[in-house]
Amino acid sequence: MTEVTSRPPLTEPTGAVVPSSVPTHWYNLAADLPEPVPPALHPGTREPLGPADLAPLFPMALIEQEVSTERWVEIPQTVREIYALWRPAPLVRALRLERALGTPARIYYKYEGVSPAGSHKPNTAVAQAYYNAIEGTRKLTTETGAGQWGASLAFACSLLGLECEVWQVRASFDSKPYRRMQMETYGATCHPSPSDLTESGRALLAKDPHTTGSLGMAISEAVEVAAGDPEAHYALGSVLNHVMLHQSVIGIEALEQLDALGESADVVFGCAGGGSNLAGLSFPFIGRNLRDGATARIVACEPAACPSLTQGEYRYDFGDVAGLTPLLKMHTLGADFVPPPIHAGGLRYHGMSPMVSHARELGLLDAIAVEQEDAFAAGIEFARAEGIIPAPESTHAVAGAIAHARAATTDETIVIGLSGNGVLDLPAYESFL
């Protein structure tokens, strides 16, 4: 691997011109919820967490955002300058798909695959790297499933002068070598998880030397390394409230773009694994529903191989296998859940974001489970109509939207969250061609 020389954090604005269409603030659904999200609990005392409990893992700015109930949180100028490399992301009318389906519905997709890393994940990766850099963090550790998050954090760290160490679920590490190469190109180090580099990894391998891994296992390893290094912090690509906050730029832009077209969404489809893409797209729509009486229906589309929203229990559970993380109240399949290795995409977390789970419990969104065969069939249909090969994760939302559009009898407006492109995930498509 080519040696990358570390450099000081690059947190000051460059003076680059940022288009006015790049959001200036993130939206926080917590401000509009009729009931507050249940708090995270300390794994030892089972009492609500305080800022000091999270300080070993996160910078104070992110801890404050995690518990904030402010509706709008200002985006730092340095972050907006980096966002301007690809934001605003396009909202595209899928006219050819409409024609192929023979539907009277109008279909739009919000395309996040235009980011340098190829997905929506940099929306929070850049923000997390920035807040860590200004606090003096030297290194970030993280986990990744299919590799989109690991690549995005590696990208963000490369721009902001931080080291990055990633534990990738072994099944994906073995099947998606280009994701590892992408991370390494950005200067990150990537390990298959579970590994023999951590105590938790060694224990998992001793229990099952042939395990294909899970996000819960990879989280344990990344958290363990961050907690043991005073100059390192941990970064999570989904689930937590501050991640949902940063991703809200997706829905903020989508609402403004629809307004400019004189459109309003009747139904919004987003893929759902840990919750970041779904929340980023849908929370601003839910906020408008709650504040202004709008009626957009939100549909979370999760894989049948990892169906936390549709089959999981709503209860407190650990975010990782080793029990190193706080207890979160969420829809969960159990922290020791391991998705089948044949599952080809991301969306493989055992739990769902507490804020998304809470919104589900309040009846603010619906959820469906999509079989992998149906997801990839929809991805291929979309690619042959619109030209973009969706990320495997995004195909679940595409499948939900296509099924809905085929049954439509009116000219309703459908919005799809196309969370990334699948160019580096083509081996996952091969079995379905």
Instruction: Identify which of 74-83, 140-149, 337-346 has the greatest average pLDDT.
Output: 74-83
State how far the Cα of 201 lies from the Cα of 322, in Å rounded to an integer. 9
C-alpha distances (whole Å) from 318 to each of 46, 66, 142, 170, 323 are 11, 17, 17, 21, 6
Nearest to 362 by CA among 37, 48, 27: 37
Residue 1: the pLDDT is 46
Decide if 278 contacts 300 (C-beta within 8 A).
yes
DSSP state at residue 110: E
Strand order in the sheet with 189-193: 189-193, 163-169, 139-144, 232-234
259 contact partners, CB below 8 Å, separation of at least 6: none
Residue 135: the pLDDT is 94
State how far the Cα of 29 lies from the Cα of 260, in Å rounded to an integer. 23
Instruction: List, in sequence order, the alpha helices (H) in 47-115.
Output: 51-54, 60-67, 77-83, 95-101
The domain spans of the chain are: 27-79+121-234, 87-118+249-430
Helix (H, G, I), strand (E, B) or coil at 16: coil
Decide if 141 contacts 226 (C-beta within 8 A).
yes
Average pLDDT over residues 228-238: 95
Q: In this structure, which CATH number among 3.40.50.720, 3.30.360.10, 3.40.50.1100, 3.40.50.920 belongs to the domain 87-118+249-430?
A: 3.40.50.1100
Of the two residues 343 and 321, the one the predictor is more confident about is 321
Helix (H, G, I), strand (E, B) or coil at 312: coil
pLDDT band at 325 (very low <50, low <70, confident <90, very high): confident
Residues 174-191 have pLDDT tens digits of 888 899 999 999 999 999
Instruction: List, in sequence order, the alpha helices (H) in 328-391.
Output: 354-361, 372-386
Q: Domain 27-79+121-234 classified CATH 3.40.50.1100?
A: yes
Residue 8: the pLDDT is 62
Residue 11: the pLDDT is 86
Query: Tokens in use for 278?
Result: 């779904």
Residues 117-162 have pLDDT tens digits of 999 999 999 999 999 999 999 999 999 988 999 999 999 999 999 9
Q: Is there a shared CATH topology between the 27-79+121-234 domain and the 87-118+249-430 domain?
A: yes
pLDDT at 43 over 70: yes
Sign of CA dihedral 68, 73, 74, 75: positive
Q: How many Cβ atoms sit within 10 Å of the Cβ of residue 378?
A: 23
Instruction: List, in sequence order, the alpha helices (H) in 189-248.
Output: 199-207, 215-227, 241-247
Q: How many Cβ atoms sit within 10 Å of the Cβ of residue 45?
A: 9
